[in-house]
Amino acid sequence: MLQDWSDNGRVDGLYPLRCYQEALAKMPTDLRDYTNASDAIHRALTRAVSSAGKRGLGSEFAVGSPLRVGADETRSVPLPLMLLVGLSVAVLAAGFLGHLARRRRNPHD
């Protein structure tokens, strides 16, 4: 798994869950302290657990060979962020329209 991380700074494959745990436990201190390897493995573990849940697999999720994750998946915008931006735009628009309506009623303000 550290070999997967070392080629581009992220873990691209899906591995058995125990491999993520072993990689974190056996990671040399200098890698843990001075690189993003630990964070990358934690993110990959989260992705693997999520994939296992979607496929209905238990905690013994295992894949014979690593699957490559497409670049589009890592660049997609999360839905909660899109909703937050949409809500913010709606609130700003409502405030602006309220301000315009008030100025029309009282042109001397």
Q: What is the mean pLDDT of each run of 10 residues along the chain (109 residues)?
A: 83 86 88 87 86 56 44 62 91 94 82
Alpha helix segments (H runs only) across the chain? 2-8, 17-26, 29-34, 37-54, 71-75, 79-105
Cα 75 from Cα 89, distance rounded (Å): 23
Specify the pLDDT at position 68.
Answer: 44
CB atoms within 10 A of CB 69: 16
pLDDT on residue 52? 67
Distance CA(33)–CA(28), nearest Å, equals 9
Q: What are phi and psi of 24, to 5 degrees?
A: -65, -40
For 28, the token pair is 């040399």
Q: Which of 64, 27, 19, 75 is nearest to 44 (CA)?
A: 19
pTM for the whole structure: 0.48
CB 39 within 8 A of CB 67: no
